[in-house]
Amino acid sequence: MKGMTVEIEGVTLHLAHPDELAVQWVGQDELMRQLLAAWMVVNDQDLPMNPRLLGKPGVGKTTLAYAAGRRMGRDVYIVQATLDTRPEDLLVTPVIEGKGSLRYVASPLVTAMIRGGIAILDEGNRMSEKSWASLAPLLDNRRYVESIVAGIKIKAHPQFRMVATMNDDASTFELPEYIHSRLQPQIFIDFPERDEEYHILKENLPFAEERILSYVTDFLQMAHAADERYTVRDGINVARYAIKLKSLATERTHETKALEIALVQVLGEESLRYARGTRPSAS
């Protein structure tokens, strides 16, 4: 598909394509309500907020953000932040074309700004302060960015919305205070309740037998109660692998064995402590 372009201050920008994910937010309607409320504009003088979704890896932060954007009927653009993310990666990147000419490529974030889409800055607290500084004017009432590389100022479309997801693990930078105050409100996503967790597994693995889904759900709930970091994403991987292992087995008792092998090979030997007593019957 040929890429779209726009011209800003005499500079042609090549735009990114939106992300297409086959995901659905299951349960936890209050979190969806809080995110959509942060993005609302209730008055001509009001501005949308830039919420932060916080939680352990795998609890569904990106899924929630994507589902909220699609619920609003908008295109969604995901920017994966890393330790190496530079300001130009967030904004405009120059690409050398033939005969020494430059082509300016807009990031997914800038494309969302121009087209009035939703930008998800995924794992934002992996970025350095220098990269965050380039977004400071976007995150307050100015709502623009300046590309030093392209020499242009880019204003956000009124319909543009942004959210940052952040993992609460150790491999992250501390947010500078002037960014911290611009990324509000903070919406914390915790582990889901048992019924919700079961339905998330079923949504992702509609071909799985009920016994396997129940086993994995019980395992996750026991792990959550012990404050382990295992998430529904881990559970999906365990169940998916167990289904594959079981498909090559011949005896019904192999279902339990397949689940235990899947736990060990996906999450490690120590995960078995949360599987005791939750084994499905082999009868």
**Extents of the domains making up the chain:** 5-188, 194-274
Does 18 sit behind a cis peptide bond, omega within 30 degrees of 0 on the bond before it? no
Q: Judging by DSSP bridges, how do beta strands 52-55 and 186-188 pair with one another?
A: parallel
Per-residue pLDDT at 276: 59
Topology, domain 5-188:
Rossmann fold (3.40.50)
Q: What is the pLDDT of residues 205-224, one digit of tens each?
A: 999 999 999 999 999 999 99
CB count in 10 Å sphere of residue 270: 10
Dist. CA 1–CA 17, nearest whole Å: 10
Q: What is the pLDDT of residues 45-91, one digit of tens each?
A: 999 999 999 988 888 899 999 999 999 999 999 999 999 999 999 99
Amino acid making up residue 210: E
31-37 mean pLDDT: 96
Per-residue pLDDT at 251: 64
Backbone angles phi, psi at 147, to 5 degrees: -90, 110
Dist. CA 227–CA 161, nearest whole Å: 33
> Which pLDDT band holds residue 28 (cuts at 50, 70, 90)?
confident
> Which pLDDT band holds residue 283 (cuts at 50, 70, 90)?
very low
Q: What is the pLDDT of residues 244-255, one digit of tens each?
A: 999 887 666 578
Q: pTM, whole model, 2 decimals?
A: 0.85
Instruction: Tell me the residue length of the chain.
Output: 283
